[in-house]
Amino acid sequence: MQMTDIILKKRNNEELLKDEISYFIDGYVKGTIPDYQVSALLMAIVFNGMSEKEVAALTFAMMNSGDVIDLTSISGIKVDKHSTGGVGDKTSLVLGPLVASCGAKVAKMSGRGLGHTGGTLDKLESIPGFQVEESRNKFIKQVNEIGMAIVGQSANLVPADKKMYALRDVTGTVQSVPLIASSIMSKKLATGSDAICLDVKFGSGAFCKDSKEAKILATAMVKIGDFMKKDTRALLTNMDQPLGKAIGNILEVKEAIETLKGEGPQDLIELCLQAGSVMLMQAKITDNQKEAIELLKKNLKNGKAFEVFKKFVKYQKGDLNYIEDTSKFGVAENVIEVKSPFAGYIAKIDTQNLGLAAMNLGAGREKKEDKIDYQAGIIIEKKCGDYVEVGDILAVLHTNHKEYNDEIRNIIESFHFKNEKVDLIPIVYDIIY
């Protein structure tokens, strides 16, 4: 087999065979096929797309390029959840303990944040002592005992994706549904759960800019799951404004704790109830969505979900004193109210811009090696549809930086006003399965 023939075939818009796809993935990971040939093939895929069969074969080859985790020694149905990334997205911190408190098993491997989006591991590590590295045996024991664990991905998980994503990033080949869908699903499938609940976000703070794009990506990923015989369902959710109020690591952990006590912001609660109900149905706790939502609401109210969160933090060596009294986290040196120079209804929030402002205040990384200030971030006080008078507080900025005037300006510029009331997009727009 020759890589040039495979490139020409895709350039001529012909369907690649399973063997041709695994030949190119194997060769690329081993280093026998060079970057320039893979770049050419990726660009041909961007232009000519891939059939469902090709995407399934690509996902399968990528998944098998490294470790495939065996979770069969965890009893019951293991349900994983994946978000395509957003701003203020602390859903996993709430959903893990919440669905585990209802009897589902969550054995989750997460990533770190980069650019305007945050990462679950960084949020967890803002709890003093919290460990995201665990041996495989301890990870399995923890899920069997308390129903959930969230750890870092093993170093050898889908090496084909690590190498290919870095190449796509510098060759203009990131934006392609088959490449994105296979990249995400190969990692999810390699982590060994029985069912996958995807949160595909769309809007100004998301990878997909509108619901149409999100639906195409979600459908492609659900089809891959079906092909691999894993129950895969996707929620299309609105990221035209940050989720909840908090952006930034400690601020988000505090908001997740409030939510687990039943006191969180409405949009975050709604998303957790909808996604949680899908996960409970996937775990076969119930086949009735209404019943699932009632069970989730009950465990938020009676403290069971929060109890699982505390067990989870304790198991992974986080200091429970901070969870029981969140004032121990302290606050950043500068806590500054950002006031509105305008009056009107908030029509739109440039969420990516807000995520970048939070990153610049210290809450995120521009480059992989940057260090995070866990206290930094933004609390959003006004959301889409709210009416604002001149001088009302739009947001509160938290930073240990001495200079923050540019970020105040960025935060103000992120809010767009209208004189008339605006129609709001619901947080959960659709569910695909």
> Which chain residues interact with ligand URA by CB under 6 A?
165, 179-180, 183-184, 207
Q: 212: Cβ–Cβ under 8 A, 6 or more apart, which residues?
A: none
Bridge partners for 120 per DSSP = none
CB of 331 to ligand URA, least distance (A): 33
Residues composing the chain: 433
Measure CA 91 to chain center: 8
Largest CA distance in the chain: 68
CA separation for the pair 62, 49 (Å, rounded): 17
Both tokens of 323, joined, read 């969870």
Quick check: is 136 catalytic?
no
Q: Which is nearer to ligand URA, 115 or 262 (CB)?
A: 115
Q: Which two tokens stand for residue 151?
A: 């750890």
Cβ proximity to ligand URA, 56 vs 380, nearer residue: 56
Write down the least CB distance from residue 182 to ligand URA, Å: 8
In this chain, which residue has its C-beta nearest to ligand URA?
183
Is 187 considered catalytic here? yes
Residue 357 Cβ vs ligand URA, minimum distance, rounded to whole Å = 22
Nearer to ligand URA, 213 or 319 (CB): 213
Q: Going by C-beta distance under 8 Å and a sequence separation of 6 or more, which residues neighbour residue 369?
A: none
**By three-state DSSP, how is residue 87 classified?**
coil
- Closer to ligand URA by CB, 165 or 433: give it: 165
Smallest distance from ligand URA to CB 48, Å: 18
Task: Considering the complex, state which of residue 207 and residue 404 has its C-beta at the smaller distance from ligand URA.
Answer: 207
| Closer CB to ligand URA, 91 or 101, in the complex | 91
Contact 102, 295 (CB under 8 A): yes
How far apart are CB 250 and ligand URA at their closest, in Å? 25
Catalytic residue (one of 105, 168, 201, 365): 168
* 398 annotated active-site: no
Which residues on neighbouring strands pair with residue 80, listed in sequence order? 196
How distant, in Å, are the alpha carbons of 80, 86, 315 from that of 246? 24, 12, 26
Interhelix angle 18-30/3-11, rounded to 10 degrees, is: 130
Among candidate residues 80, 161, 350, 373, the one labeled active-site is 161
| Helical axes 159-171 vs 35-48, angle rounded to 10° | 70
Nearer to ligand URA, 180 or 338 (CB): 180
d(CA 197, CA 411): 32
Q: What is the spatial distance between Cα 64 and Cα 372, in angstroms, rounded to a whole number?
A: 33
Q: Is 80 marked active-site? A: no
- Residue 372: closest CA among 165, 184, 187, 124: 124
Nearest-5° Cα angle at 255, 415 to 291? 105
Of 10, 81, 82, 230, which residue is the catalytic one?
Answer: 82
Q: Is 161 a catalytic residue?
A: yes
Name the minimum Å distance from CB 40 to ligand URA.
Answer: 18
Beta bridge partners of 338: 395
Q: Which two tokens stand for residue 145?
A: 């005992």
Instruction: Name the minimum Å distance from CB 168 to ligand URA.
Output: 7
* Rounded Cα distance, 404 and 154, in Å: 37
Q: Which of 116, 187, 233, 382 is catalytic?
A: 187
Catalytic center residues: 82, 161, 168, 183, 187
